[in-house]
Amino acid sequence: MGHPQLPSRIKTDNSTAAGIANDTVKQRRSKAINMRYYWIRDRVRQGQFIVHWKRGANNDADHFSKHHAPAHHRRMRSRYLYEGPPSQLDSV
């Protein structure tokens, strides 16, 4: 439709995956790697994505792939859920 769109930012805690996507890591031998790395590398070259690495402790998406105690989920609830202002129906 002709509307320019900024590249989408992707944060990963896998430094090798980020290196493959950004062409900063080269394969030593011809190995079969997952095709998604080639797809994302192609999209980075086209300017559709920006892939950058960040430690796993700072990666919010990492939370959902780990097993945590119920107390931890309650502490982190406000970070991942927006409950919004109370509505009139909440008081009924």
Say what the pLDDT of residue 30 is: 58
Q: How far is Cα 58 from Cα 37, in angstroms, rounded to an integer? A: 22
Give the CA angle between residues 76, 82, 88 to the nearest 5°: 130
Mean pLDDT per 10-residue interval, the chain, length 92 residues = 88 85 78 72 93 78 78 83 70 56
Both tokens of 60, joined, read: 């919010």
Say what the pLDDT of residue 25 is: 85
Is the separation of the CB atoms in 78 and 37 below 8 Å?
no
Q: How far is Cα 23 from Cα 43, in angstroms, rounded to an integer? A: 12
Task: Report domain extents, the chain.
Answer: 8-83
Say what the pLDDT of residue 77 is: 81
Say what the pLDDT of residue 48 is: 94
34-56 pLDDT tens trace: 676 788 889 999 999 999 888 77
